[in-house]
Structure 1
Amino acid sequence: MDEEGKRQAASYREQLGYWNQTLEYLLENDEEFFKIYKKLVSSPYKNNILDAKSRELINVALSSAPTNLSKDTLEVHIENALDQGATEKEILEVFKLVSVLGMHTCAVGVPILVDETGKYEGAELNGRQEELKQKFIEKMGYWHEFRNTLLLNDEHFFESYYEFLTNPWENDVLSPKLKEFIYIAIDSATTHLFDVGIRVHIQSALRLGATFEEIMEVFKLTSAQGVDTFYAGIPILESVLAKRGK
């Protein structure tokens, strides 16, 4: 790497807190694009609207989301989060929040199933089911009709889902506002784009005192998810070229 390359690498490491072989490949093979890449991903790090630890925990959430599972970037952001003072317990809480994303299968699928079959249309909740519904609303502050179907179909499943969802809200390991930022990030991720959830969690974040500018920073962090293409693609490209003797 020439002196200009070393300067670019040092600047990147100073601003974002990490450097790796993927970035080195981009810098060496396409310096012009590397500068564009750096400009995109560094913006939320320059603004400091979100604190450094929160930024990295949001990035941990994005990399560990079941719609993404980018192991290379996950390792980078866990390292960064620890460097910024995050604890093992805080990172585990991020994983617990993110794992609930699997329930969006029901959020999207159940209404379609009801539309196609007519099952439970107009059905009333019984007393026990109504209690569970109110318990959910009191805890989470929102409700969608597909959960009525979950209750009517299988109280045990609904209750287990409720406990799984609310467990991270039973403690203050992460602030409520950061939890909502994490939900906004994983719902608005390129790999998910769950608009119902985005709106619900923006509303919740605003009620908790979040600002327009803070939520915009979450979107900027999330918009950089596309760079995971390079983390997945470049090692494979190098491996294939090596096999061909290039």
Structure 2
Amino acid sequence: MTDTETELTDRARSAADYFRKERGFIAEPFEIMARADPDFLVSYTDFSMAPWRTGPLEPKVKELVYVAIDAAVNHMHEVGTLNHARSALAQGATREELVSVFEIVSLLGLQTLELGVTALERALGEEPGDDDWMERLARFDPAGAQSARAWYESVVASSPLEPKIIELIGVAVNASTCHLNEAATARHIRAALAAGATRAEIAEVFQLVSVLGIHSATLAFPLLEELAQ
């Protein structure tokens, strides 16, 4: 082994150890990342740990946010969902709270109805009003609007999570890198503030969610290593 190769191996080991120390675990894609570009992994570790070092949300809630964005229909990252669900349980989350997170993120599908009724109104030459979209949907499909509202309300009413946390999860999945729904994000921000969330807590949700882009690297680096074999 050359001196350069030895140095790279040492740096890779150091980067992987740093990630493990800061996060409490290390999955195989991050070990591969350490071998490919240790400086990148160290930099990402510092970035991803920023909300853990200074953010006001309790660790359990941080992990529930990760669970939400990984399980959401616009991402469906099975390994991430499992790892963060395990971490959430270790941080004190209950099975019922995890069930509630899965149910809350399932509501994201209702945005098809919201988008659809708006598009239908415009196709008919109407300008969408300020009314709740479910009320506007009821003009065209009363039964569908009623069932949508009933499902939404039942999910929220049965949740063991406090209203503030429910809304912060709504902020997370709508601000997700895979969704970026500005209107829905703003709607959940207003609801979170009304439920008692602070600006710092909402800002931390954005920090937590912004790490989602690393999944491009956790997908691609193992493929690159496979090609090199």
TM over 0.5: yes
Cα distance in structure 2, aligned partners of 1:187 and 1:80: 23
**1:2–1:238: structure 2 CA closer, same or farther, 3 Å change rule?**
closer
Give me the identity figure in percent.
Answer: 30
> 1:93·1:174 contact (CA, 8 Å) conserved in 2?
yes
1:102 paired to 2:89: no
Stretch of structure 1 that moved more, 38-47 or 59-68? 38-47
> 2:137·2:145 contact (CA, 8 Å) conserved in 1?
yes
1:168 paired to 2:155: yes
Give the gaps of 5 or more residues in structure 1.
123-142
Cα offset for 1:62? Answer: 0.3
Question: What is the Cα-based RMSD across aligned positions, in Å?
Answer: 2.3
Aligned length: 222
Cα distance in structure 2, aligned partners of 1:120 and 1:220: 36
**1:86–1:9: structure 2 CA closer, same or farther, 3 Å change rule?**
same
Alignment of structure 1 residues 67-86 onto 2, 5 Å: 67-86=74-93
- The alignment partner of 1:60 has SS state of helix
The aligned residue for residue 198 of structure 2 is 211
Write the letter of the residue equivalent to 1:42: M
User: Of residues 23, 27, 31 in structure 2, which corresponds to 1:16?
Assistant: 23
TM-score (norm 2): 0.88
> 1:120·1:149 contact (CA, 8 Å) conserved in 2?
no
> 2:15·2:39 contact (CA, 8 Å) conserved in 1?
no
TM-score (norm 1): 0.82
Cα distance in structure 2, aligned partners of 1:230 and 1:149: 42
Flag as ranges the 4+ runs of structure 1 deviating above 4 A. Answer: 1-7, 119-122
The aligned residue for residue 49 of structure 2 is 42
Cα offset for 1:121? Answer: 8.1
Give the gaps of 5 or more residues in structure 2.
1-7
> 1:56·1:81 contact (CA, 8 Å) conserved in 2?
yes
> 1:15·1:46 contact (CA, 8 Å) conserved in 2?
no
- The alignment partner of 2:178 has SS state of coil
Cα offset for 1:209? Answer: 1.6
Cα distance in structure 1, aligned partners of 2:225 and 2:15: 22
